[in-house]
Each structure stands twice: as structure tokens, then as C-alpha cells.
Structure 1
Amino acid sequence: MVADELARRACAERGLAPPDDVLPMHLLTIPETDIADLGSIIAAALAHSPAARSLLADLEREQHIPETAVRDYYDRNRDRFLTPEALRRGVDPYDDPAPADIQPYEDVHDGIARELRHAAARRAFFDWLDRAREDVEYAEGHEHPGDPTHQDHEHRH
């Protein structure tokens, strides 16, 4: 609830349209792998808060990924770009595959840039939430069980 309220305030400050509260509550399903990457608090905020999702989308639009970063990612992760034929043949991506076994940079460029922009937006969201929560004071006994600033952060409600 706190993350939702903070996200609503951030959306208002950014001039983003307020989330539509008239519609029935919509739960976004977050894949388990994303929960591991995001952490449970942020995953819950994104699953339950249209404002948090709006803010994340806005942060993603703000991210600029330099061409050098896209190229560097491609060069360092060639194993991710084996062609389907190379995969069927069992080509070892770490054993100097033939150039024909790797998808051309031009074919995968947009996907890499999108993935890097998405990751950068998540980092920006984490940073925003950390800064936004700095001034939040919880009523005694209602601290979040996962809040490491609370002396008894492993308690359960």
C-alpha cells in the first residue's frame, strides 16, 4: 500500500494520467523469475499498483541506451544469439562458432536495446523507491516485515 501511494504521488508529480480506479482490481501476474530479480516488495507493488506500473513505464521511456552498450552486450553474450539451426546441431557457443551460426547484430539489435532499457528502468525504479521511502514513518507495530531499517524486521503481522 505504501509503494502504491508513493507511486501515485510520483505519477502526479510527473503529470502522468492517474490510474483508472473505476475498473475492477486487476492483478498482474509476475513470472517467478521476475520476482527473484525484482524482490517480493517491488513485485507485489507492480502486481497490485497501476500507478507503480505507470511509473515504471515512464522510467523506461526515459532510458537512453548508447549504441556502444548494445554492441558490447552482443559481443559479450554471443551464446544468446545462436541461430536455431546452430542450436539444433548442438553448436557449442563457447567453442568459437562459425559466423553463420550467430544471428546477425542487425537482426537482434532492437531486442537487445529493449532488454537493456527494461533493465535500466527497473534499476531506476528501485532507486526511486529507495529514495521515496526514506521519509516514510510507519506507525509502531505496522512496519513492513521486510524493512531492514526496523529493528525487528523479521517479525510477522
Structure 2
Amino acid sequence: MTSEHAAVVHGRAVPRQAVDALLESVPARDRETTRPESLARAERQRRRWATQVVVADELARRACAERGLALPPEVSPTRLLAVAETDVADLGSIVAAALAHSPAARVLLAELEAEQDVPETAVRDYYERNPDRFLTPDALRRGVDPFGRPTPADFLPYGQVSGSVAAELRRAAGTRAFFAWFDRARADVEYAAGHEHPGDPAHPDHEHRH
């Protein structure tokens, strides 16, 4: 692996230029209010984080090719789309950014979601265990306590919401499958110095960040 590479994915070199291009699209920390030593550490971690995002795109493109999945025309992105704070909270910054950055990652996630089998018993169980999510608009206006003494009329019928519940559970299962795939797929990736995973304890600046 030469200094021009950020990582090697199953024998394929990931160029540093791809990481640099992504970093250019991600705002850096405020340089005026951050101490120089803290800024330097943040920039090192930013590069490691961006490497993970670029590696995720490479791995996702390989996975899509192996599965015979068609990709959009743009399969070598160089910029990061907006990432919602809720996505970062739910997915972690690396996976959230990878899905915003990589069309291949989004195609793979959609495929994994479609593969998930959500049994009707799981849908019914979710409906019964989360009554606060299924109050009618009128019950909400009246401030009905779903765990107090509500009446059946205070809740949306199961048949009316079962489809959306099943879709939500399928999305959640697909996301878990994506996490599991990513962890397996990047296990054999080789990183150049300065491009290791941000949480790799082998480098002094490591931090736990997904």
C-alpha cells in the first residue's frame, strides 16, 4: 500500500483523493474558537471518519455487484448530502453519513429491508406493547393516558395501522442487517496510517464513534 492510498478493500486501493474530496464537503470545526492542539486532533479524527464513509461506499458497491443490484448512474460520489441529526442519533455518524454519501449503500439498505420477514405476531405484539403510539387524534386532544384507563375507542384500530407498523419493523430489521453487513464487510480492510477507524485503540487519538 503506497502513501497515495487511504485503504485497501479486498485488494482494491481506495485513493486518498476520495477521502479528501469528501472532507471538502464536510464543514470543519470553528478554527477561531478551538485550541490548536484540539483542532489538530479533530482534523485527524475527521480524516479517519471520512475514510470509513468512503470505505463503506466501496464495500456497498461490491455488495451490490455481487447481488446483481442495479445502481443509479452516479456511483462514485464526491460530496456528502445533508445528514439529519435524527439519523446521526439513530444510526451513528459513520453509517448515517455513508447512507447520505453513497447511492450504493442506499440501494443495499433497501434490498436488505426488502429481505426482512416481519411476522404478523410481531406486528400485533408491537401494537399491544406501545399503546401510546396509537391514540386517536381525539384522545390526544383530550389528554387520554394510554396506560391509565382508556377505552377501546381511544385507539386507532389494529387493522388501520398494522401496515405502517409492519413497514416500520421491516425498516428497523433492515437497518440492523445493514449494521451487521458493514461490520463483517470491513473486518479485512487495511488502512493506511492516519486513516484507521476513529475508535481503533491502536492509535492515540482513538474515540468510540460509529
> Structure 2-normalised TM-score?
0.68
Give the percent of matched residue pairs that are identical in Structure 1 and Structure 2. 70
The answer for the alignment partner of 1:125 in structure 2 is 178
Distance 1:11 1:150, change over 3 A: farther
The answer for the alignment partner of 2:101 in structure 1 is 48
Q: Give the superposition deviation at 1:19.
A: 3.1
**Which amino acid in 2 is paired with 1:105?**
Y
Distance 2:135 2:196 in 1: 48
Bigger RCO of structures 1 and 2 (CA < 8 A, at least 6 apart) = 2
Aligned with 2:147 (options 94, 100, 103): 94
Aligned with 2:71 (options 4, 7, 18): 18
Distance 1:150 1:116 in 2: 37
Aligned with 2:114 (options 61, 83, 94): 61
What secondary structure sits across from 1:129 in the alignment?
Answer: helix
The answer for the alignment partner of 1:79 in structure 2 is 132
Distance 1:71 1:57, change over 3 A: same
Distance 2:115 2:72 in 1: 20
For these two proteins, the number of residue pairs brought into alignment is 153
Structure 2 residues not aligned, in runs of 5+ = 1-53
Distance 2:88 2:77 in 1: 24
Distance 1:38 1:77, change over 3 A: same
Structure 1 residues not aligned, in runs of 5+ = none
Q: Deviations along 1:41-68, whole A, 9 cap, x unmatched?
A: 0001001000000000000110110000
Which protein is richer in strand relative to its size? 2
Q: Contact 1:86 / 1:101 at 8 angstroms: preserved in 2?
A: yes
Q: Contact 2:75 / 2:103 at 8 angstroms: preserved in 1?
A: no
Moved over 6 A (4+): 22-26
Distance 1:149 1:5, change over 3 A: farther
